[in-house]
Every structure is written in structure tokens, then in C-alpha cells.
């Protein structure tokens, strides 16, 4: 295993543990155990847990940016863009075991170093800005009909997704999700 491979695997495992346990609920020993390496090897790649945390928060912000740029390049109508955006969140919610990285970091915000808080804020800003634009385009083009400002609807969608992940994990079921998504689409004029 090369240094780059090990580093990438540490980030991958860290992301999985972040989504299933939360940032403060896993240790370098947990990562070392999964990889079958010594804890010191994890420290070699990430001197402190805040270094790994910053890498995880950056990964999440980059995922959002790259995913949304990809959706933009697909030349979809606003409804198709929204559905494509929602798909990975819906998939995560349906597991009933995973939180969004942004949501779990927001829940632990007060305990995180500033670099992680900044990257997590960037993640939410990227999503909010994109959603606001798509929702405005949807209304301006006659695809969507709603009274609120597009930025308010963007906040509602983000809140719905983060809250739905919490509820699914708490209930151990995502049976509520389809009616909730239908309600969202109706609120946008579907």
C-alpha cells in the first residue's frame, strides 16, 4: 500500500465513521483497526485529529461543488436538476444509519476547530447558493410555482434533508420520506 493509498483510505474510513458515529465518536485507533495498521501510521498522515477533520470537511465541500457543477453540465430542466441533487441525500437517508457529513459536523460545531467549521459553512453555502439559483430559474422559467423567496425555499430543502436524516436514524425507518418529498414538490408547484 502506497502513502497516497493509505492516506486516501484513512479519509474514506474517517468519512464512513463520521457519517455513522459522528466526528467526536471515533478515534484513530478505530481507523487503524479497520485498516490493519498501527495508530502511529494514521498519525503519520494526519498529525492530529483536527487535520483529518479538516480533510473530511474539505472533501465534503469539494463533493458538493463537483456534484453541483456536474449537474449544471447535464443541461437538465430545474425539476430534473432538483431530482438529481436530491438523489444522493435520499439514498443516504434510506439507509437509516448515516447522517450527512455537513449535518453531523453542524451538530458538533462547538467542539470543532475553526478550519473544520469554516469548511462546513462553505459546504452549506455551496449548496444554498446552487439551490437558490436553480429554484429561481425554475420559477422564472415557469417550471415551478411558489410564493417564498428562492433562498427561503433553499433553506427549507436543506432543513428537510438534514432533518430527514436525523428522523430516519432515530426511527430506524425512512417510511415517512416519500410523502415528505411529495409535499416538497407540491410546495414548489409540481
Q: What is the distance, to the nearest Å, from the Cα of residue 36 to the centroid of all Cα atoms in its chain?
A: 28
Q: Where are the domains of the chain?
A: 49-187
- What digits encode the pLDDT tens for the residues 147-182? 999 999 999 999 999 999 999 999 999 999 999 999
Q: How confident is the model at residue 162, as a pLDDT?
A: 96
**Triad 131, 136, 142: Cα angle to 5°:** 125
- What digits encode the pLDDT tens for the residues 34-58? 999 999 999 999 999 999 999 999 9
Please give the class, per CATH, of domain 49-187. mainly alpha
Name which of 57, 61, 179 is nearest 129 in CA terms. 61
Taken in order 180, 183, 189, 190, the sign of the CA dihedral is positive
What pTM, to 2 d.p., does this model score? 0.93
Provide the grid cell at 58.
474539505
Mean pLDDT for 129-137 is 98
- Residue 185, pLDDT above cutoff 90: yes
Amino acid at each position: 500500500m502506497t502513502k497516497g493509498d493509505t492516506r486516501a483510505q484513512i479519509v474514506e474510513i474517517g468519512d464512513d465513521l463520521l457519517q455513522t458515529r459522528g466526528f467526536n465518536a471515533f478515534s484513530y485507533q478505530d481507523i487503524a483497526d479497520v485498516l490493519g495498521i498501527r495508530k502511529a501510521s494514521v498519525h503519520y498522515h494526519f498529525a492530529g485529529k483536527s487535520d483529518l477533520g479538516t480533510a473530511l470537511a474539505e472533501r465534503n465541500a469539494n463533493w458538493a461543488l463537483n456534484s453541483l457543477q456536474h449537474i449544471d453540465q447535464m443541461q437538465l430542466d430545474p425539476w430534473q436538476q432538483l431530482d438529481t441533487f436530491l438523489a444522493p441525500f435520499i439514498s443516504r437517508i434510506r439507509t437509516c444509519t448515516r447522517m450527512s457529513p455537513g449535518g453531523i459536523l453542524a451538530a458538533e460545531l462547538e467542539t470543532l476547530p475553526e478550519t473544520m467549521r469554516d469548511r462546513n459553512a462553505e459546504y452549506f453555502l455551496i449548496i444554498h447558493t446552487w439551490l437558490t439559483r436553480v429554484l429561481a430559474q425554475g420559477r422564472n422559467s415557469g417550471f415551478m410555482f411558489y410564493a417564498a423567496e428562492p433562498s427561503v425555499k433553499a433553506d427549507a430543502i436543506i432543513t428537510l434533508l438534514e432533518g430527514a436524516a436525523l428522523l430516519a436514524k432515530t426511527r430506524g425507518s425512512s417510511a415517512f420520506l416519500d410523502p415528505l418529498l411529495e409535499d416538497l414538490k407540491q410546495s414548489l408547484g409540481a
